[in-house]
């Protein structure tokens, strides 16, 4: 028994399997899941439906890194990134409300990994940042990336060797005339539109 009721666990003590509390990874720390599976307790973090306000399984504070993790159902609100984060070889077997949300600035990099079975967004961007995705595949989603609806903050998106299959809507959607998209080696199949944007994407 603990004297304090704190709703987070330190990343160093986190065990794979069902998570009743968000795993918090501090700036400068790397959480290596070694390929193990993590999922949410539906009663505490969320059931992975389209209901807003669910909690993440992993919270990456500014400067934190997450690697070699498999996220399975229910995935609640997935991964929250507070800025300058690396997310490497993370596999979402069944996306929750969304897979990953950016909540802080700097550069956020998604390297390797994949995500599938999302009703709507894979990556939700709620803060100005540089968002880089490379060597990543998404299958059966609404859209790969959504800048928060109606927001006009500056955003730079780089897609390098990304595959999107079976999207209901598009690869990237933004309402911001300061959102710029750069892409190379982008492969899509059964995706109705590549972009819903105010700017013209450029290959790089
Ligand atoms: C929706 C909602 C936003 C925010 C976002 C998210 O776009 O309108 O307020 O909650 O989802 O971060 O999941
Ligand atoms: Ca949402
Ligand atoms: Ca899902
Ligand atoms: Ca969300």
DSSP state of 36: E
The reported pTM is 0.95
Residue 30, SS3? strand
Contact 190, 163 (CB under 8 A): no
pLDDT at 7 over 60: no
Q: What percent of the chain has pLDDT over 70?
A: 94
pLDDT at residue 184 greater than cutoff 60: yes
Spacing, Cα 161 to ligand 3 middle (Å):
24
- What is the sign, positive or negative, of the torsion defined by CA atoms of 51, 171, 102, 44? positive
Task: Say which residues have a Cβ less than 8 Å from residue 43's Cβ, sequence separation at least 6.
Answer: none
Instruction: Read off the pLDDT of each residue in 74-78 and give the average, rounded to a whole number.
Output: 98
ipTM, 2 dp:
0.99
Per-residue pLDDT, 157: 99
Per-residue pLDDT reduced to its tens digit, 80-124:
999 999 999 999 999 999 999 999 999 999 999 999 999 999 999
Round to whole Å and give the CA distance between 141 and 84.
26
Q: In the predicted model, is pLDDT for residue 9 greater than 80?
A: no
pLDDT for res 143:
98
Which of 45, 124, 150 is the pocket-test mutation for ligand 1 (most atoms within 8 Å of CB)? Answer: 124
Q: Which residues, at least 6 apart from 49, have a Cβ–Cβ distance to it below 8 Å?
A: 96, 97
- Residue 119 CB-half CA count within 13 A: 11
- Around ligand 1, the residues with Cβ closer than 6 Å are 52, 97-98, 101, 124, 126, 148-149
Residues measured by CB to lie within 5 Å of ligand 3, the ion: 94-95, 117
Over 80: is that where the pLDDT of 8 sits?
no
- From 53, 125, 126, mutation site for ligand 1 pocket: most ligand atoms within 8 A of C-beta: 126
Question: What is the pLDDT averaged over residues 175-187?
Answer: 98
Report the relative pairing of strands 202-203 and 129-147 from DSSP bridges: unpaired
Per-residue pLDDT band for 3 (boundaries 50, 70, 90) equals low
* Ligand 1: centre distance to CA 5 (Å): 28
Q: Let me know: does 132 contact 105? Beta carbons within 8 Å.
A: no
């Amino acid at each position: 028994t603990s004297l304090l009721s704190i709703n987070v666990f330190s990343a160093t003590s986190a065990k794979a399997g069902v998570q009743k509390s968000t795993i918090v990874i501090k700036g400068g720390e790397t959480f290596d899941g070694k390929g193990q599976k993590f999922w949410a307790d539906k009663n505490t973090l969320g059931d992975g439906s389209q209901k807003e306000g669910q909690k993440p399984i992993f919270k990456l504070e500014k400067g934190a890194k997450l690697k070699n993790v498999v996220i399975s159902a229910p995935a609640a609100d997935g991964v929250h990134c507070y800025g300058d984060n690396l997310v490497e070889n993370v596999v979402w077997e069944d996306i929750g409300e969304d897979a990953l949300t950016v909540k802080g600035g700097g550069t956020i990099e998604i390297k390797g990994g994949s995500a599938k079975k999302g009703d709507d967004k894979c990556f939700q961007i709620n803060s100005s940042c540089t968002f880089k995705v490379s060597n990543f595949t998404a299958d059966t989603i609404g859209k790969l990336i959504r800048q928060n609806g109606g927001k006009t903050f500056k955003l730079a998106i780089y897609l390098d060797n990304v595959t999107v299959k079976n999207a209901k809507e598009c690869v990237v959607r933004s309402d911001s005339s300061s959102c710029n998209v750069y892409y190379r080696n982008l492969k899509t199949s059964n995706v109705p539109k590549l972009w819903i944007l105010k700017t013209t994407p450029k290959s790089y």
